[in-house]
Structure 1
Amino acid sequence: MAKATSTSINRQNEIISAAIEVFAEMGYYRATTAKVAERANISQPYVFRFFATKEALLVAALKVSFARILESFQQVIHSSPSEQLEQELIAAYSQIMTDYRNEILLQMQAQTIGEDVVVSVMQQGFRDVHTTVYAAFRQVGIEHALERTMLFLARGMLCNISMSLDLPELMEIDE
């Protein structure tokens, strides 16, 4: 039985990964579960075995993307010297943007989807990131931790825009 459960979890993760790619490439509204199934090399009914609706699949994909960010940030928080914390968090997010670009694009798209469950997942995801960063900044004694948290998140949003529009000059700073 453990083998079947493990296989089911793997298959579910494969479907979520395929959905992230398809939603990021086509947009949520144009994407279909048939396209997700094709990308995952399975039948469309098999997608519905795990996810009752396309919206449920989107919600799962968004939760995966926020969990990845939070996990990465927690690793940094527990391993970085306090004076390097903010720079290490920025580096961690930059790495996520490189390695998981489609997840970031998916989050950006989801910000415009007005369905209550999607809005709720996005709100919770951003609250969790905010809470994690703020607590870490306070713990290491960063002055004006709440403002610095807001600026950190704003920088992340600008990074997202810079990446999605291929405008690296938005991220240039004076040394």
Structure 2
Amino acid sequence: MGGVSARERRENVIRAAIAEFAVAGYRGTTTAAIAERVGVTQPYLFRLFPDKKAIFVAALERSAEDTRLAFERAADGVEGGERARQAMADAYAQLISTRPETLLMQMQGYGTVAAAEAQGDELIGEVVRAGWMSIWETVHLSLGADTEKTASFFACGMLGNTLTAIGLPVNAGR
């Protein structure tokens, strides 16, 4: 990876971590697997991040931000709540079809919160909740700050997430 800056390597590690954690979860993912996917040594990985948890947190933050940005970009300049809703739904469908690890990483985060907090670790829950709230706020504002429309958007989206995660087509519930 000659000529690649530490910032670019850090970004590569985050993307590799999302791919690894999305499939195997926090406990099932090794830093060796992340390092191998990126093409760096484990010692170099730990120069970029202090520990595995820091890598997991960065992956959670990035997957939430990727989702938030997809919604923000889709609704940018779109007039009317229904058009914005459809644009965001289409953008999300595109995101999870081209980068399913984004959705799976978020699901891993949701599943990890309770276990982490049961062990007295509040950080993962704080990160997951902050990511969720940033996504909510983006969608909420794009839908005219209508709480009912925002809740309905996310209810349909979570159903789609669940169907996708278990391998059913999104229209299986219709």
Tell me the TM-score normalized by structure 2. Answer: 0.87
Structure 1 unaligned spans of 5+? 140-144
Q: Does the 8 Å contact 2:160/2:170 carry over to 1?
A: no
Name the count of aligned residue pairs: 164
- Residue 105, structure 1, aligned to residue 104, structure 2: yes
The within-5 A match list for 1:1-175 is: 7-82=5-80, 83-114=82-113, 115=116, 116-138=122-144, 145-168=146-169, 171-173=172-174
- Once the two structures are TM-superposed, the CA of residue 172 in structure 1 deviates from its matched residue by 4.6
Contact 1:158 1:170 in 2 (8 A): no
Distance 1:171 1:100 in 2: 21
Q: Relative contact order (alpha carbons < 8 A, sep ≥ 6): 1 or 2 greater?
A: 2
Matched residue of 1:113: which SS? helix
Change over 3 Å in CA distance of 1:74–1:169 after alignment to 2 = closer
Does the Cα contact within 8 Å between 2:140 and 2:147 map onto a contact in 1?
A: yes
| Distance apart, 1:171 and its partner CA | 4.6
TM-score (norm 1): 0.87
1:42-78 Cα deviation digits (max 9, x unpaired): 1011111111111110110111111111212121222
One-letter amino acid of the counterpart of residue 108, structure 2: Q
Contact 1:159-1:171 within 8 A present in 2 as well? no
Q: Secondary structure at the match of 1:109?
A: helix
**Residues 57 and 150 of structure 1: CA distance in aligned 2, closer, same or farther (over 3 Å):** same
Amino acid at match of 1:100: R
Distance 2:135 2:37 in 1: 30
Q: For structure 2, list consecutive stretches of 5 or more residues without a partner in the other structure.
A: 117-121
- In the superposition, relative to structure 1, how do residues 113 and 169 fare at CA in structure 2: closer, same or farther (>3 Å)? closer
CA–CA distance in structure 2, aligned partners of residues 137 and 169 of structure 1: 22
- Asked if 2 retains the 8 angstrom alpha-carbon contact of 1:24 and 1:106, the reply is yes
- In the alignment, is the contact (CA less than 8 A) between 2:112 and 2:124 conserved in 1? yes
Q: After superposition, what is the alpha-carbon deviation per residue over 1:72-92, rounded to whole angstroms, capped at 9, x for unaligned? A: 212122232314111111001
SS in 1 for 2:76: helix
1:76·1:85 contact (CA, 8 Å) conserved in 2?
yes
Deviation at 1:25, TM superposition (A): 1.9
The letter of the residue matching 2:125 is: V
